[in-house]
Structure 1
Amino acid sequence: MSEVIFTSSATAKNGRDGHVKSDDGLIDLNLVNPASNKDDKGSNPEQLFAAGYAACYDGALNLVAKQKKKEIKSETNAEVSFMKDEADGGNKIGVTLNINIEGASPEEAEELAESAHQVCPYSKATRGNVEVKLNPKAV
């Protein structure tokens, strides 16, 4: 394993209809499966993954822009879909990243978005396993 910079930890109990809590208590959420429970309020694994991916990708985008000496402002929205997996009859996730980049032309936005996708740790982790669609937009 590579050199560890830091480790985060969270514990889930009772799966999709349970509870998740981070080791520091900042995340302390009830989980609700929106596919089977439309009434109760709570988070779900896809929502938590979307938050993490959006933050990680937006950080990678700003890092790439800085390396290219391009000053931008950005906002990344991650849509994580829970889907049927035709291959094995189970389930899978898919991700759409909607990326707004201020201070870049449409061509630069495309280039920055693709470069960020190459270096983002979440993109690296999902590459070849999860379909990820990039929707960069110069604003």
Structure 2
Amino acid sequence: MTKPTPIYQTTADAHGGRAGHVDSQDGQLKVRLAVPTELGGNGGEGSTPEQLFAAALASCFESAMGAAAHAENYPEFGVMGVRAEVGLIANGEPHDLTVALDITLPELTREQAQHLVDKGKAICAYSRALGDKIEYRLHES
């Protein structure tokens, strides 16, 4: 079977693990990493892999819902919010992840909002890759 050709692909290099830095090969991403105190670090300035993952998931899912709304000719609405929550569970070694998305679409009916969430699940590559590991929480406002 032939491997599909990506329509977009990027590469990032990690140096120094959780206390190091991550850079994309195109130079657009340069992130210093820090180990949080909860994981035995000093909690210094820097991001964590979990923060980067949460940011990627939230932005991808919000884009997927926006694409679904556009494709289905939803009326223009201005407020859409997606917050990703990513946590580590100490389950021995290795740790497990908890992943949740808090979704707010206050200008839509509950049915319209749920429809967009369902479409977002089908479109967002991260959602499809994670399957049922994501908890989706739809909020009224």
TM-score (norm 1): 0.87
Match of 1:9 among 11, 21, 24: 11
Provide, for residues 104-126 of structure 1, a one-character-per-residue CA deviation record: whole Å limited to 9, x for no partner.
Answer: 11222122112211221000111
Partners of 1:51 and 1:78 within 8 A in 2? yes
Partners of 2:35 and 2:43 within 8 A in 1? no
Correspondence 1:96-107 to 2 at 5 A: 96-107=100-111
Q: Name the structure 2 match of 1:77.
A: 83
Rounded to whole Å, the distance in 1 between the matches of 2:43 and 2:8 is 38
Rounded to whole Å, the distance in 2 between the matches of 1:59 and 1:33 is 30
Rounded to whole Å, the distance in 2 between the matches of 1:90 and 1:122 is 21
* 1:90 CA drift (Å): 1.9
Is 1:127 aligned to residue 131 of structure 2?
yes
Taking only the aligned residue pairs, the percentage that are identical comes to 29
How many positions carry a matched residue from both structures?
A: 135
Q: Name the structure 1 match of 2:49.
A: 45
* 1:103 CA drift (Å): 2.8
* Poorly superposed stretches of 4+, deviation over 3 Å: none
Gaps of 5+ in 2: none
Partners of 1:109 and 1:138 within 8 A in 2? no
Say if 1:21 and 1:58 are closer, same or farther in 2 by CA, change over 3 A.
same
Is 1:36 aligned to residue 71 of structure 2?
no
Provide, for residues 10-60 of structure 1, a one-character-per-residue CA deviation record: whole Å limited to 9, x for no partner.
Answer: 100121111111112222122112122244111111100111111110010
Match of 1:108 among 106, 112, 123: 112
The structure that is strand-richer by fraction is 1
Say if 1:45 and 1:39 are closer, same or farther in 2 by CA, change over 3 A.
closer
